[in-house]
Amino acid sequence: MEAQRATPRVSRTSVLDRTFRISLVLKGLDGLLELVGGILLLLVSPSQIGAIGRFLTQHELSEDPKDFVATHLVNLTSGLTVSASLFGAIYLLLHGAVKVVLVWAVLKDRLWAYPWMIGFLIVFIGYQIYQMAVTFSVGLLVLTAFDVFIVWLTLLEYRKRRVGKR
């Protein structure tokens, strides 16, 4: 009879810890992408963005002039104003910078950053819910659900860290 190998049992806590870390890294990468997007909005004029949108969709629209994604992309990029572009750049730069700093601080186990991360995400969850009430978006719904999940994980981790620091 062959001896059975003992398989290590993964605790629920370690799975949550790994999930928390992975979620934070994804949120940090999202923040970096927002920083890049904000910089690009500052460097590229609205007319150039419109030209890029038309260039990227022209082949698809020549085959199907009513293509949902392509027509919406052209409408979105061609209607961009200087003030909307500037607002978008400032929003992305601030949002991305705060996100990157808070994710870094939480990953470095800075206890002060946990409540700030939770508060920051709750404010943006509220804003995202408002945006969905105005114009529903599946992408925004997924992002909001992910943010709610990160708030929950951050709260669990913060409680655990606070008890450990006493």
Instruction: Please report whether residue 3 resides in a domain.
Output: no
Q: pTM of this prediction?
A: 0.76
Q: Which range of residues forms the domain containing residue 75?
A: 13-165
Q: Measured between alpha carbons, how far is 46 from 84 in angstroms, rounded to an integer?
A: 9
pLDDT tens track of the chain, all 166 residues?
455 555 555 566 688 889 999 999 999 999 999 999 999 999 998 888 888 888 888 888 888 888 888 888 888 888 788 898 899 899 899 999 999 999 999 999 999 999 999 999 999 999 999 999 999 889 889 999 999 999 999 999 999 988 876 6
Q: Measured between alpha carbons, how far is 20 from 151 in angstroms, rounded to an integer?
A: 10
Q: Tally the domains of the chain.
A: 1
Instruction: Please report whether residue 134 resides in a domain.
Output: yes
Instruction: Please report whether residue 35 resides in a domain.
Output: yes
Q: Measured between alpha carbons, how far is 84 from 145 in angstroms, rounded to an integer?
A: 26
Instruction: Please report whether residue 7 resides in a domain.
Output: no
The pLDDT value recorded for residue 12 is 65
